[in-house]
Amino acid sequence: MYRRHFLALAAASSVAPASAATVALRSPFIEDLTWIEVRDAVHAGAVIAIVPTGGTEENGPHMATGKHNLIVRHCAGEIARRLGNALIAPVITYVPEGRFDPPDGNMILPGTIGVTEPTFAAILTDAAMSLALSGFTLICFIGDHGLSQRMQAAVASTLTERWRGRGIRVANIDHYYGANGQEEWLKSQGFSDAEIGQHAGLVDTAELMAVAPQDIRADLLAPKTWPSGPTGVEGDPTRATAAIGRTLIELKIAAAVAQIRSIE
């Protein structure tokens, strides 16, 4: 049964795809498209696949646990629009969050759902293998979470070497997260390191205000050092605004687009 199914798909996919002039996608997100629309887009030149990774974690009392997923999905959509030849895989919502036993990092508070680094690496690998089968030749991991970066870089390097003869490259677009100019810009605006923080503080809160303000509990905004206190906040989210968030989001998007174009 499965063999017949795959043979039928192979035969169907051999039908001549639409030309670049006739492909008009309703969405850059693969999960919104049919397989025929994906096939035709790839044949028309959309050979970059973006794999966004977010996270499901505590974000203080004032932000929903899906903060990273909401932000990275929004940014991925704009990155694909600016590139013009990219489609976006579904957001990977479970990422490394810390040790399970005894718990540390974000795992110390309820609502966080983490995976081990080997599990995360396997998910990234299998997603990339699937996208390679669809015809994408540049697969880009874009992570909104710090603990995702190391494994994304390792998997990207491994797969690029493995697929060198096939002309398929995998890249961790680390400038999106770590070389985006956000900290420098905030300091130029007079914000201190303590106000900026590292988790659920100024940066995270401002970005979510810009992308999904309905997921902010404005009445619970308060500065608190993490993990010495119980709130899960490091930094001062009371200084955040949607306007600041829009600038921070733009810096991340621009950094990612520039890095992808440099390796395209």
- pLDDT > 70: what percent of the chain? 89
Euclidean distance between CA atoms 165 and 178, whole angstroms: 30
Reported as a pLDDT band with limits 50, 70 and 90, residue 23 is: low
Which CATH superfamily groups domain 25-181+253-263? Creatininase (3.40.50.10310)
Task: Render pLDDT for 154-212 as a digit per residue (tens, 0 to 9).
Answer: 999 999 999 999 999 999 999 999 999 999 999 999 999 999 998 999 999 999 999 99
Please state the φ and ψ torsions of residue 37, each to the nearest 5 degrees.
-65, -40
Predicted pLDDT of residue 231: 86
- Give residue limits of the domains in the chain: 25-181+253-263
Predicted pLDDT of residue 242: 98
DSSP 8-state code for residue 260:
H
Task: Render pLDDT for 48-95 as a digit per residue (tens, 0 to 9).
Answer: 999 999 999 999 999 999 999 999 999 999 999 999 999 999 999 999
Predicted pLDDT of residue 1: 38
Q: Which of 71, 70, 121, 60 is nearest to 96 (CA)?
A: 121
pLDDT at 25 over 80: yes
How many CB atoms neighbour CB 221 within 10 A?
18
Mean pLDDT of the chain: 90
CA 48 to chain CA centroid, Å, is 15
Task: Render pLDDT for 26-51 as a digit per residue (tens, 0 to 9).
Answer: 899 999 999 999 999 999 999 999 99
Among all chains, which residue has been given the structure tokens 């998997």? 155
Reported as a pLDDT band with limits 50, 70 and 90, residue 223 is: confident
Tokens of 160: 């690029």
Among all chains, which residue has been given the structure tokens 């790839």? 42
Q: Which of 13-22, 145-154, 250-259 has the lowest mean pLDDT?
A: 13-22
pLDDT at 21 over 90: no
Predicted pLDDT of residue 24: 72
Instruction: Burial-class residue 137 by CB neighbours within 10 Å (0-12, 13-18, 19+).
Output: middle
pLDDT at 13 over 60: no
- The residue that leads in pLDDT, 254 or 228, is 254
The Cα-based distances of 69 to 92, 185, 219 in angstroms read: 8, 24, 23
Angle ∠(204,110,51) on CA atoms, nearest 5: 50
